[in-house]
Structure 1
């Protein structure tokens, strides 16, 4: 996929429909845009239900997170899995390379049914 980084402004909504279907490589490509806002939705139920015993689903999670750091969810108690995956996904977003103009690029993340940002960007380019 070619990314035109000369676009004047961009807003991108990435809505994962029930599974880990937004690859980390796409986030890396979007980071090359100047003056871009990206809103991600993240629904971890699929990963907590199906990926522990299925290599294909676990591989999809690895592609979404950009690595295997999220596998620790398998040892978390049921009531902690959502927060654990949300936090690992935030960490993976922070690993996306700095955009060409960091002050004009913003990322928001909405996880599950709870908004993780109400006053501005949830995650930054740190």
Structure 2
């Protein structure tokens, strides 16, 4: 019986806050993957196969720390070249959507291939109705 291949995933958080929504999204994704998909390991960036970006939206773009990390890792040898990637975000009115789109633009130049669907945008500052407490 052949062994199952190991998928190496690097999670990059665009927020430096220790208790950020995006760090929480990465931790949740790691737990879900460890429990449901055999063979997932979160490795160091230089050995990655897939990148998983948790990107807040700052001024219609990605955060400066995330852009800096992407830029440094794109220098020879470009660790992003011909790799797959996914994005998740949580934010205000548009749920971080503009950071998604800017990351996709950046990915074109560095040869990083983002999955197109599903797109995941979360509204971090508004609780969904099902979690609201009913007051009588």
- TM-score bracket relative to the smaller structure: 0.3 to 0.5
Which one has a bigger Cα radius of gyration? 2
More strand by share: 2
More helix by share: 1
Q: TM-score, normalised by structure 1?
A: 0.35
